[in-house]
Structure 1
Amino acid sequence: MTQHSLQGRSESEVSWFQRRGFLQAAAGWTAMGGFAAAQAQSRSNIVELVGDATLNGSRLRAQQAVQTGDEIVTGPGSSLIFVVGSSAFHVRQNSRITVERGATLNAVSVLRMITGAVVSVWGKGTSRQIITPTMTAGIRGTGVYTEIFANQDNRSYFCNCYGTVEMAAGNDKTVSRSSYHQAFWGEVQPKEGRMLTPAKAINHTDEELEYLAKLVDQQTAWQILGKKGVKDGKGYMEEKEGQMHPAEMLGR
């Protein structure tokens, strides 16, 4: 497994893709035709549910479907993996999110995060956002990791694992173009005058993105390129020729 830096998360949380239950569920999901087939057959779009979660205030059961407009809350030790349209989501424990409706019932326009952490892969499209207490990310076709640190006054962390993302925090704005993990903090208070600051890759792995991408018949940028890039000792790209480091971007 790719090495990574953990901050307040357990090893098991970032190695969920190794669980036998998930591997069986993912294989079944793919074999049965993915989201389109699930929709046509009125089956659930939940790939795996571990532990307790609620959907719009009521206990979530694996045979139910997550729809745009729903609020999801996961409990301690719980996780939820589901697919809506061309996007796949892994909601980690102790998270509270709302999946807001886009142009159609099966298009997510906004992933609004109140607490917790979500790994997500998004098919190509426009007018989609992830909103946290301290930042907004306008996403196109991309794979990202988002986490809210409640013990840091809801300071938000966002990694553009691959793709193009329009980042905003306070009055700070930047466009992130990444093929291999470009991360940011959305600060609660300005740091050296900035609300959007560069970060290291933490609490998520290449493999998580690869498995979510597979659920929606996609590949990550590094899979398409057939490489994983320059490693900085934690399994993530620090600098690569032709790609700006976040510190350089924000210094412009």
Structure 2
Amino acid sequence: MRIQLLGAPIDALNMKETVSEIEEFLHKDSKPHFIITLNPEYLYRAQDNEELMKLIYEADLITPDGTGIVWAAKTTGSPVPERVTGIDLMLNLIPLAEQKGWGIFLLGAAPGVAEEAAGNLKKQYPRLNIVGTRDGYFKPHEEDKIVKEIAAAKPHLLFVALGMPRQEQWIYKYKEQLAVPVSMGVGGSFDVIAGRVERVSPWLQKLNLEWLGRLIKEPYRWKRQLVLPKFAWLVIKKYKLKI
């Protein structure tokens, strides 16, 4: 089931259902599938950016990434079961990938981070088939070579950590050439998995205050966090909600 929020479709699925849907993508056909984990910042920016909104509509699966999306969906009368973030979805797919023998490719983050993340994943899942890694510090003229490298590795799952919206734009631009069954952007996930960035404590996550924990740990993010009240006010104004 899909809902509509601020002009964008969102799949109203919980984590288990989302993973099952992705598993179905891998079994169903060889078509490249593109996943967007939609957070408030992306959706807010897409209001005035036709390209970003188009990417949402072109995606095969759009998950509610963030407390703000879950709140807005519930407040406007079209609730979603739970938030499905990029890093949590990735971490739920990894053990299934090990079990099924799916190939994994990690693209993005600073030099050395993807390799460290791959190493930590292999420690936890020894039979995980990581077919390649590549950092995200590349020039435009290097992109064709990287696309060919990924296509030659033939991963089943491509996780791209280039930051929003660059990662979504990159996947969409090259998805046919990549020919990867499932590709998705995962933001700063590699840094967390590599152990370079500590994730917010579980109790803050349960209280839906992960944004606050991230702001405390990474105060330089304060400008990005300003989009949250702007997003909330847009929802209130657009749907004529009483405060």
- Larger relative contact order (CA 8 Å, sep ≥ 6): 2
TM-score > 0.5 by shorter chain: no
Query: What TM-score comes out, normalization by structure 2 length?
Result: 0.30
Q: Which has the higher helix share?
A: 2
Decide which structure has greater strand share: 1
TM norm structure 1 = 0.29
